[in-house]
Structure 1
Amino acid sequence: NTFDLSEIKGKANLAAFRKSTVGDMVKLKYKSLFKDESTATRILSVSADKLKEIVGDISFDIKEINERVLAEMNQEFFDKIYGPNRVKSEEEMRLKIIEGIEKQFE
């Protein structure tokens, strides 16, 4: 399953994931790992009842790592969103967004 590191609690747990690479196995103590029960059930794909039965360590096989990077607000970005040369500035983009929202409420 896929999850964001913001769903993990504890500096040591975060460090274990951050230093891992594709192909690694990360083994951590279950009880101190997730921020809440609903996150744990989703990530582990188990019911709340099964979750209560988990004790000790759990292992994660790292198959893929994705990093989100904010896009630069430049012409290349505007062209990808709105098409070539339809928006030329951040201000024009904001106006297009407002225009789109207004159309939804007509």
Structure 2
Amino acid sequence: MANKWISEMSLPTSIANIFVARNITTAKEALSLTEFELMELLDVVGWPSLGIGKTQFCLKLSLLASLLASYGGLDGRVIYIDVDSKFSSRNMIEIGLKSSQEILHMEGMAK
């Protein structure tokens, strides 16, 4: 999944265009950025065009980063800081099922 093309990730066009303009074409390249590089790239602080979908975007990135490398993830660990109390493990699983249903149905993967 980390080798998935940015253009295949159902990101808002404005965000996908920013990645592509900076030669970031795969999820792995995007996830390899530090949080500060990602924030700077997307100009998250005060970027009104990010608008709707911030939580889903962060959940998707968290999912990609935490999946095992053998399943296309980065085999990493994620700390999700939720200052708005919008985190939902159910939403995380739903996002995962939409993008990699066969992986999350494997025993223990949804945990």
| TM-score normalized by the length of structure 1 | 0.30
| TM-score normalized by the length of structure 2 | 0.29
More helix by share: 2
